[in-house]
Amino acid sequence: MQNMKQKIHLAILGSGNGTNAQRICEYFSENECIDVCCIIYNKKDAYIAERAKNLGIDSQYFNKHDFYDSDVVLQYLQEKQTDYVILAGFLLLVPENILQAYPKRVINIHPALLPKYGGKGMYGHHVHQAVIDNHETESGITIHIVDQHYDQGTTLFQARCHVTPEDSADTLADKIHLLEQEYFPVIIEKTVQKNA
């Protein structure tokens, strides 16, 4: 009998709209080596849950207590045979037990050029507004390995876009969104392949 090689399973963690989660699921939907095994979310009414349902991906809600005071999230990840944890708009700090179980295998996307505009409270619209308020002429995305601090850890990839005087936080968010959709799944794939 031929040796059947297991697929690499990605678990996605999100807190919000879920556009990145959806893009990742669609990108890997026909992939022979990598798939998305589940979507985990920590806000009950987050639209990411609806997207998971529409995509036919198993999804599960966990609250803050589940993340920080118990092993239930880690157990769920292990039940799903997760190999990599992908943060796609996930706004909590990743708990230590998950970081330990997945060393260098937790990957985040941040909507700015880290180390600028990172840290606690710097997410989504707040990031874009800060970039506009500081009259920056460029912004971009950073994809990085996650450690125990917000928005630190080894950078895997950055892509840049111009910020013009006409830009608002909303128009900048649109530019960043395009970069995220283009690059996040590709960089996940490259990282997974490099480690295989």
Annotated catalytic residues are 110
Minimal distance, residue 79 CB to ligand GAR, in Å: 24
User: Is 105 a binder of ligand GAR (CB under 6 A)?
Assistant: no
The footprint of ligand GAR on residues 5-34 (CB under 6 A) is 14, 16-20
Q: Rounded CA gap, 192 and 110, in Å?
A: 19
Q: Rounded CA gap, 113 and 110, in Å?
A: 8
Antiparallel, parallel or unpaired: β 155-162 and 138-145? antiparallel
Q: Which stretch binds ligand GAR (CB under 6 A): 58-66, 95-103, 119-127, 160-168?
A: 119-127
The token pair at 78 is 């292990």
Q: Rounded CA gap, 70 and 96, in Å?
A: 11
The token pair at 143 is 């994809």
The token pair at 105 is 């295998």
Nearer to ligand GAR, 33 or 115 (CB): 115
Nearer to ligand GAR, 17 or 152 (CB): 17
Binding site for ligand GAR (CB under 6 A): 14, 16-20, 88-89, 109-111, 123-124, 127, 176, 180
